[in-house]
Amino acid sequence: MMINVLVAGALGKMGREVCKSVISAGDLRLVGAVDVRGEEQDIGALLGGEEIGVPVKNDLEEELSQKRPDVMVDFTVPEAAAANAKTALRWKVRPVVGTTGMSAGEIKEITEIARESKIGGIIAPNFAIGAVLMINFAVQAAKYFPCVEIIELHHDQKLDAPSGTALKTAQAITAAREDFQQGMRSEIEKLPGARGGCFNGGIRLHSIRLPGLVAHQEVIFGGVGQTLTIRHDSISRESFMPGILLAIRKVMKLDKIVLGLESLLFE
């Protein structure tokens, strides 16, 4: 069955890659492209290829009502993503959201709307399969190395810090090591923030933002006489596409919101 897809944030760096991947997939059809830029220009031409008869629009609700896609993929900004997901659900369209920075309250509200309407969706901080495996490996390590710090590195245009992946990693580690408090009770920061943000149980999260980076993370564990480092690097945005295409296909069988790509990989 052909799955019809609309991409919100279609002209962003991630949105462009998603559009290209959907166009190239034999079982997916790009029926809508929404962005605040490129109004009425054909998305195929804007991506450097042939026109495909899909002009970029800036009114998401109008496009959802007219195109009636099966799935909406959202890579926009935190201020817009939650409203976009709720709008999609209102039109019985399954949201696949990769935008990070939404609040816990917004995610809860989206989850409740989906539950009541029995429409599936996925919200994931990272669609790189390697990043999901990194978190899974870190959970295993945390059972034996409870002391850990996380360093995440992203391009300098990323809006939120720490990254959704870093927060997801810290949450998973906290659950795995249960009641544990690491670090000194009092530290002297000569420069405020030098030790990074402090998550539950004393896990320190450090964010680096530089041009030339895409998405990278190190999870560094410390034990007696040894350290263990688990690292994942996305060196191009193409690394996220297999996970996104997997989510588009899998979400068709869901009747609720799932959080994280691992919900689909390890089901």
Tens of pLDDT, residues 163-187? 999 999 999 999 999 889 998 777 8
> Which class would CATH give 129-235?
alpha beta
Half-sphere exposure of 83 (CA within 13 A, CB side): 8
pLDDT at res. 101: 86
**Per-residue pLDDT band at 90 (split at 50, 70, 90):** very high
d(Cα 231, Cα 239) in Å, to the nearest integer? 15
d(Cα 41, Cα 18) in Å, to the nearest integer? 17
Domain boundary assignment for the chain = 3-123+238-265, 129-235
CA 94 to chain centre: 16
Residue positions annotated with a catalytic role? 154, 158
What type of residue sits at position 5?
V
Q: Which two tokens stand for residue 72?
A: 């909406």
The CATH superfamily assigned to 3-123+238-265 is NAD(P)-binding Rossmann-like Domain (3.40.50.720)
d(Cα 122, Cα 120) in Å, to the nearest integer? 7
Burial 104-125 (b: 16+ CB within 10 A, else e): eebbeebbebbeeeebbbbbbb
What tens digit of pLDDT does each residue of 185-221 get?
A: 778 889 999 999 999 999 999 999 999 999 999 999 9
Q: Which two tokens stand for residue 220?
A: 């560094």
**Per-residue pLDDT band at 100 (split at 50, 70, 90):** confident
Half-sphere exposure of 15 (CA within 13 A, CB side): 24
pLDDT at res. 186: 79
**Per-residue pLDDT band at 237 (split at 50, 70, 90):** very high
- Cis peptide bond N-terminal to 55, omega within 30: no
Kindly tell me the sign of the dihedral angle through the C-alpha atoms of 258, 261, 266, 267.
Answer: positive
pLDDT at res. 88: 98
Q: Which two tokens stand for residue 118?
A: 């029995």
pLDDT at res. 267: 65
266 pLDDT more than 90: no
pLDDT at res. 187: 84
What tens digit of pLDDT does each residue of 126-170 get?
A: 999 999 999 999 999 999 999 999 999 999 999 889 999 999 999
Kindly tell me the sign of the dihedral angle through the C-alpha atoms of 60, 65, 68, 71.
Answer: positive
What tens digit of pLDDT does each residue of 18-77 get?
A: 999 999 999 999 999 999 988 889 999 999 999 999 999 999 999 999 999 999 999 999
